[in-house]
Chains A and B, each alone.
Chain A
Amino acid sequence: MTTTSPTVSPPSTRGADIGAFFARHPLIVLSTVLVILILVTGAIEPNYLSVSGLRGTALIAVPVGIIAASQTVLMITGGIDLSASMIATAAAYITAAQAENGAFVAIGLGILVGIGAGAANGIGVGVFRVNPLIMTIAMSGIIFGLFSSWAQGWLAGSTVVGEFVRTIGGKSFLDGNIPYAVVIWAVLTAMIVGMLRYTGFGRMLYAQGDNAVAARLAGTRSWQVLLIAYILAGVLSAIGGILLAGRLGAVDLRLADGLLLPSVAAAVIGGTSIFGGVGSYSGTIFGALILGVLSSMLTFLDAGQAAQQILFGSIVLGLAWLYSSITRRT
């Protein structure tokens, strides 16, 4: 310790403060909220606290959670993808249209849509420095426009997804206890968490979002990082869309519309900073699960759509506020 550096006092004895504990372990706050919500839902509808009840919630959470993965990756870089829901819809649409060519071709082409749209976003944001908010809003409009006219043209007619996609999107194994979609989500989760924590690319994502100037001076070529990040996000959104279509059985042009804002909300609730540089996918998963439980709860309450929207908004606001007031203590 140097004599000229500011004096550092010994660790405060109030270190056992509950708030400080939560601040260091935000996931504990989130899991507490999740458990409380599950119990409250169980109190409203006792049948909910069963395998089938929770499976329903899990199935709701999977597409949101996977699309929220793309938001998490991009928000870490300081970006966002408002075209995620349109990419998801487009991928699902192609998958449905190609159902007759076999599941693998269909899914492969669907994911290719995600790669293409993601690459376009990545070039706009990474190479031409278009603001991500605007780039992806515009991209969303473009995809919607294209598919609206194609839906009356070469894509007309085939809006039902194939059997395999329906299986992985909505069916379960082990006596119907474990949905395939949840397994897919788990595998993706392992890959994303691993990528963010244990790869050089993950480091570059955080570096880009925390301080783009510093990243550049350290030799990072931001366009490469952003291009790959947006392509990855496109792929994740496509997978989310295909699983959603599998659960619902058929596609339409508004298929994933309702998932866009929840996907952003899930990442935000999970503690990823919208300004970049901070965040984790494990937090986002809790965000997606919380939103999923909430949605089940509101269904049981038989709340009208108006009440659902108000409550959904209030909970996003309340959780974000609570979360920020706790984490700000550090």
Chain B
Amino acid sequence: MTAISSSEALGGSQLRDWLRHHGWTLGVWLLLGALVVWYSTLVPSFGGFELSLIVNNSLPIAFLALGQAVIVIAGGIDLGVGSMMVLTNVVAAKYMEGESFAVAILIAVVLIAAAAILNGIVGWIINVSKVPDIVITLATLFIFAGFALAILPSPGGGAPGRFRWLFTGSESGIGRNAWPAIIMLALATQVVGLWLVKTRNGLSLYALGSDPTAAYLSGVRNSKAKILSYAIGGGLAAMAGLATTALTGSGSPRLSIASTATLNSVAAIVLGGIALTGGIGSVVGASGAAIVLFILNPILTARGVDPNSARVIQGLLIIFVLMIAGVLEQRRQRRS
């Protein structure tokens, strides 16, 4: 009797369930779609140039948000990702200048691996020291930025054109071909996203963030999962740094760039529906939200709003969305 009635209601309740768990991600991408459409009506012509402007420029912050997302899902938070991005940007720009494409790729691969190992060590330190993540990574924010400044004391360097094409669709960093950036971001988001929800190791990161005790009792090695999350976050921060190198064609070792990028990555993942308490959310939402945050700038510029007001509106948008989320959450709690 109960079995029959529940299976009858299944169709509707499945949709409801799906919306409850993926609705936020869907909403972020719908919002992004709406903003792109709005933008297209604001500019005289909307084509490859405008599209690549948006995607290319949001690529670094999108990669950084992916990295932050992996770490936050596993219950941590990494204030140092911005510095890691700056550090790889600087190293790449310094050593890729004047080199061939093949050497540049080699450097990129080595950098990603090195960043993963370095940030994995950060995760290890958090495990061993039992100091909260936010404190340790506050320190690494300074340390990595210091390394960057030591390696490249003033902005400069370069990257081979074909390497720049890889991330931007153009050898000069600005062009009409948005595909390389779109593919790059989609691929990274999908690979990381599927790995997280389909593999044992990936799920163990969700487990650690969701309930460390239950995770441990389920046989998850919590310390290993923590290190893994930081390593992947570091690797993705390196991707953000490489994208910056490709986009700007130079390295810029400033601490303020690092801290702004970190704060933006945190804003993006929260807007993307990832709970700062860990265990909840999807990286697909995070990368969408990163683009949403970026696209506001060209839209407001096109509307004739000065860039300072754009920051105000960006801040208000984040607060507004989260206030609504807060009210919804309070209502949900009151009903349970």
Are A and B in contact, CB atoms below 8 Å, in the complex? yes
Q: List chain A residues, Cβ under 8 A from B329.
A: 129
Q: B residues touching A (Cβ–Cβ < 8 Å)?
A: 125, 129-132, 134-136, 138-143, 145-150, 153, 255-256, 259, 263, 266-267, 270, 276, 306, 308-316, 318-319, 322-323, 326-327, 329-330
What DSSP secondary structure best describes chain B's contact surface? helix
B150: contacting residue among A128, A137, A307, CB under 8 A: A307
What DSSP secondary structure best describes chain A's contact surface? helix
Stretch of A53-61, A155-163, A317-325 at the chain-chain interface: A317-325
Contacts A133-B276, A137-B266; A145 near B323 (Cβ below 8 A): no
Given A130-B322, A309-B145, 20 other A-B residues pairs in contact with their CB atoms under 8 A: A128-B322, A130-B323, A133-B266, A134-B322, A135-B319, A137-B266, A138-B315, A138-B318, A138-B319, A141-B311, A141-B314, A254-B256, A265-B138, A306-B150, A310-B147, A312-B146, A313-B138, A313-B140, A313-B142, A317-B143
Cβ-defined contact, B270 with A134, below 8 A: yes
For the complex formed, measure the closest distance between the CB of B83 and the CB atoms of chain A, giving whole angstroms. 9
B131, B135, B148, B314 pick with most chain A CB within 10 angstroms: B135
B131: contacting residue among A139, A145, A305, A324, CB under 8 A: A324
B310: contacting residue among A128, A145, A275, CB under 8 A: A145
Docked CA distance A131–B271 (Å): 11
Q: List chain B residues, Cβ under 8 A from A139.
A: 315, 319
Cβ-defined contact, B315 with A134, below 8 A: no
A137, A273, A308 pick with most chain B CB within 10 angstroms: A137
Cβ-defined contact, A142 with B316, below 8 A: yes
Contacts A129-B329, A268-B138, A313-B141; A148 near B319 (Cβ below 8 A): no
Which of chain A's residues has its CB closest to B129's CB?
A321
Which of chain B's residues has its CB closest to A144's CB?
B311
Contacts A149-B306, A307-B146, A325-B129; A317 near B139 (Cβ below 8 A): yes
Q: List chain A residues, Cβ under 8 A from B149.
A: 304-306, 309
Cβ-defined contact, A313 with B143, below 8 A: yes
10 interchain pairs, CB-CB under 8 A: A134-B318, A138-B314, A140-B315, A145-B309, A145-B314, A261-B142, A264-B138, A317-B136, A317-B139, A317-B143
For the complex formed, measure the closest distance between the CB of A79 and the CB atoms of chain B, giving whole angstroms. 12
Contacts A134-B267, A313-B142; A146 near B312 (Cβ below 8 A): yes
Docked CA distance A308–B147 (Å): 10
Docked CA distance A316–B314 (Å): 32
Cβ-defined contact, B319 with A320, below 8 A: no
A328 interface residue per 8 A CB criterion: yes
Q: List chain B residues, Cβ under 8 A from A227.
A: none
Which of chain A's residues has its CB closest to B271's CB?
A134
Docked CA distance A124–B320 (Å): 9
For the complex formed, measure the closest distance between the CB of A320 and the CB atoms of chain B, giving whole angstroms. 5
For the complex formed, measure the closest distance between the CB of B275 and the CB atoms of chain A, giving whole angstroms. 9
Q: List chain A residues, Cβ under 8 A from B316.
A: 138, 142
Cβ-defined contact, A82 with B138, below 8 A: no
Which of chain B's residues has its CB closest to A261's CB?
B138
Question: Which 8 A-B residue pairs are closest in the complex by CB-CB distance?
Answer: A313-B142, A309-B146, A145-B311, A310-B146, A313-B143, A145-B312, A306-B149, A317-B139
Q: List chain B residues, Cβ under 8 A from A140.
A: 263, 315
Q: List chain A residues, Cβ under 8 A from B327.
A: 128-129
Q: List chain A residues, Cβ under 8 A from B135.
A: 265, 268, 274, 316-317, 320
Docked CA distance A328–B128 (Å): 12
Q: List chain A residues, Cβ under 8 A from B310.
A: 145
A100 interface residue per 8 A CB criterion: no
A257 interface residue per 8 A CB criterion: yes
Which of chain A's residues has its CB closest to B253's CB?
A306
Q: List chain B residues, Cβ under 8 A from A211.
A: none
Docked CA distance A324–B136 (Å): 12
Docked CA distance A273–B133 (Å): 12
Docked CA distance A307–B318 (Å): 36
A52 interface residue per 8 A CB criterion: no
A224 interface residue per 8 A CB criterion: no
Contacts A131-B270, A316-B142; A145 near B322 (Cβ below 8 A): no
B143: contacting residue among A82, A129, A261, A310, CB under 8 A: A310
For the complex formed, measure the closest distance between the CB of B41 and the CB atoms of chain A, giving whole angstroms. 25
Q: List chain B residues, Cβ under 8 A from A299.
A: none
Cβ-defined contact, A313 with B315, below 8 A: no
Which of chain A's residues has its CB closest to B152's CB?
A306
Q: List chain B residues, Cβ under 8 A from A141.
A: 311-312, 314-315
B131, B276, B306, B322 pick with most chain A CB within 10 angstroms: B131
Cβ-defined contact, B134 with A274, below 8 A: yes
Cβ-defined contact, B319 with A316, below 8 A: no
A314 interface residue per 8 A CB criterion: yes
Cβ-defined contact, A145 with B267, below 8 A: no
Q: List chain B residues, Cβ under 8 A from A135.
A: 319, 322
Q: List chain A residues, Cβ under 8 A from B315.
A: 138-142, 145
Q: List chain B residues, Cβ under 8 A from A144.
A: 308, 311
Q: List chain B residues, Cβ under 8 A from A313.
A: 138-143, 146
Docked CA distance A237–B138 (Å): 20
Q: List chain B residues, Cβ under 8 A from A309.
A: 142-143, 145-146, 149, 255
